[in-house]
Structure 1
């Protein structure tokens, strides 16, 4: 674990390729993180499900590979639930037709009590393909009000909803997505949906979608919708053209929340901290791929309406406070600027700033994020800004989680997150903050 860009407090596999988190579930106090994995290569290949466990979301133990390709195909993304008769995994079996076209079906796997043994259901696939090229990433949730299981499935650039009472027999319910949010040349991937309590106590459903390409920044991104779900239909609470983002960085994709039996008031999400533009080219050795920090999701009122905010769990905050490894630390600041003033943030001892925080008016601000190109990594460099409301107190809270080149910036009490990978010469070098006047002098 001594590679230069191996993070200390973010999960990464010992070796091989990793992308989307899937099958995330908490059972008997243990967090189980499954993920897309090729143990034999550092580029995307025949997909397996890797498996990691943690009791605190900070210290992770890599477990043996959970799911292997079989006669139905390789093991694409999916989910997990706990029932009266144990834990059930759902995944997409991916194969190709005689013409070389993608063919995807949804499969069921039974796990034992400690999730160390996995057995495919004899009736697989439990949800056959209705004739779609992109038909994958089953996310199964329990909908208490209607008393049934609901499966969300990628259906091209929409999400299909299916219902079941027994997890084997599924009935089509509805679809959502056409003319809503952002669309691009690729499918809507890795859907998820969780209920959150609004400040007035009402329940709002949050529908999470991976978008590649076409994210807020170039390449991959994770958008979300706020609305209602009656057990059959999702109804968007905002105008169809509204675009909302869980993270505004380049490296936060395919976010999924942990299932916990009985529900949880604080859904916890993890995403793949990479971008399909250059994921196969990142500058690591034995492994390629890393997960974001866990984030607890909540709804907050803003001048722009209800929005999802997030915060690192207390155990993760404590983990950074107790972390003595070089290049892994947390930095908290309250930034007070007058309208028109700016502050530059330099990471890793480098001369060029990586973030510029601006107060653009009395009640608005922005964070400009910059990253220099890296040889051999397509489309890695960037320079763009993220708008945000400036707090009425005049001081913007800002937290940087820095872990061997992986940077997660949180601002405005978790309303804004920017997750970016860096590959600096000196990942352990210090952060420097300067006013732009001092820089330009």
Structure 2
């Protein structure tokens, strides 16, 4: 422990800056987390790829820096896959500037061994040249079994481009999605991902994740998703274009990415950067800056609002938080029964003012209000807003709160509602209790 606000059971780098998770992949039973990293400062400087590994998604060992800037530019976000021959391939955006000072972004390939300790840059880089876009980044590569080829998603301004390949080197443009769909802010869409999930009726539904920077549900950056079909060429939205769906309603859940697992999985595991671009450069830490969320396993459920993505922390994470004796870190589980108009307050860190208020607004609806006080030196950090949700038909609302020295992840309604928020309490080692009170 080297910092007042360094978490115990969430990953943070030993030193330097961290933002987006990159290249998430599971190889030979080991989970690998790469991430946007400046090892030499706690600012967003020249981007490298940091690297950490874990066997349980809870306890992480930081590894040497994996990718360094080259003559093509610094190493922006990307992904990792395991090819049929067992070779590991990393894809990232090389970022540089034109002579006129404008951003220039191209997609690059790196070959890695199975231990992910040795890396060789593809001589033919870039494997996808820039077609003339200012925003052209964050390649996410997936395997599409029905068409027998690889598909790359690339953030292209406020839309997502799809590209196809059979050899991971030669890529052909397929289609784009985004115009007129979901939420659009003043900034770009970023960090796309695409995973198939099985609906309760047995159908396969594709989930498209998109980072929105800025203008999300909560002030600042956030992660929205779309449900639909993907035929290997194009994504089709199953909902009305104006439908907005959110993977997390908090201020600090961005650039969510799933782990690639050869052969696929029925429970894709996702992680996100637990911060917000409105104030990420202002957080009061000294040796490091940046924390990752807990992993969450995704599934599809039929909710009163329709088909939705729900998420749960893996069993290992739940057990680790439930059994830890580390100060400022723990898990609290609640079953809430309220009549219409009743409220329950959740107050953390021994403070006087509540951080969350749950209210049953009607027989079928509830509201989860989240409040956060201002912190000196952090512009736009304070907030007070509410999330409307469907009250469980059985009448009782489940709430789980993960607390780790200021980082709070609250899940409710069987994983349909998540709120991830950073706090900077006066004493993160004080008893992190939950005070509940109906009124």
| TM-score, shorter chain, exceeding 0.5 | yes
Aligned partner of 1:433 in structure 2 is 435
CA contact (8 A) 1:209 1:223 kept: yes
RMSD after superposition: 0.8
> Following TM superposition, by how much is the alpha carbon of 1:391 offset from its aligned partner in structure 2, in angstroms?
1.2
> Following TM superposition, by how much is the alpha carbon of 1:434 offset from its aligned partner in structure 2, in angstroms?
3.7
Aligned partner of 2:39 in structure 1 is 39
Aligned partner of 2:77 in structure 1 is 77
Gaps of 5+ in 1: none
Determine helix, strand or coil for the equivalent of 1:291: coil
Determine helix, strand or coil for the equivalent of 2:319: helix
> Following TM superposition, by how much is the alpha carbon of 1:324 offset from its aligned partner in structure 2, in angstroms?
1.1
1:220-255 Cα deviation digits (max 9, x unpaired): 100000000000010000000000000000000000
1:116 aligns with 2:117: yes
Determine helix, strand or coil for the equivalent of 1:435: coil
CA contact (8 A) 1:26 1:260 kept: yes
> Following TM superposition, by how much is the alpha carbon of 1:184 offset from its aligned partner in structure 2, in angstroms?
1.1
Aligned partner of 1:161 in structure 2 is 162
1:377-431 Cα deviation digits (max 9, x unpaired): 0100000000111112221000000000000000000000000000001223232
Aligned partner of 1:322 in structure 2 is 323
Determine helix, strand or coil for the equivalent of 1:320: helix
For 1:294-309, what aligned pairs fall within 5 Å after superposition? 294-309=295-310
Determine helix, strand or coil for the equivalent of 2:317: helix
Determine helix, strand or coil for the equivalent of 1:145: helix
Gaps of 5+ in 2: none
1:12-38 Cα deviation digits (max 9, x unpaired): 000000000010000000000000000
Aligned partner of 2:334 in structure 1 is 333
Determine helix, strand or coil for the equivalent of 1:350: coil
Aligned partner of 2:392 in structure 1 is 391
> Following TM superposition, by how much is the alpha carbon of 1:318 offset from its aligned partner in structure 2, in angstroms?
1.2
1:96 aligns with 2:97: yes
Distance, in Å, in 2 between the alignment partners of 1:240 and 1:139 is 23
Q: How many residues align?
A: 437
User: TM-score, with normalisation over the residues of structure 2?
Assistant: 0.99
- List 4+ stretches of structure 1 deviating above 6 A: none
Distance, in Å, in 2 between the alignment partners of 1:85 and 1:319 is 32
Distance, in Å, in 1 between the alignment partners of 2:72 and 2:369 is 46
Aligned partner of 1:220 in structure 2 is 221
Distance, in Å, in 2 between the alignment partners of 1:223 and 1:249 is 12
User: TM-score, with normalisation over the residues of structure 1?
Assistant: 0.98
CA contact (8 A) 2:369 2:385 kept: yes
Distance, in Å, in 2 between the alignment partners of 1:377 and 1:431 is 25
Distance, in Å, in 1 between the alignment partners of 2:395 and 2:167 is 54
Aligned partner of 1:22 in structure 2 is 22
Aligned partner of 1:53 in structure 2 is 53
For 1:131-210, what aligned pairs fall within 5 Å after superposition? 131-210=132-211
> Following TM superposition, by how much is the alpha carbon of 1:257 offset from its aligned partner in structure 2, in angstroms?
0.2
Distance, in Å, in 2 between the alignment partners of 1:391 and 1:210 is 28
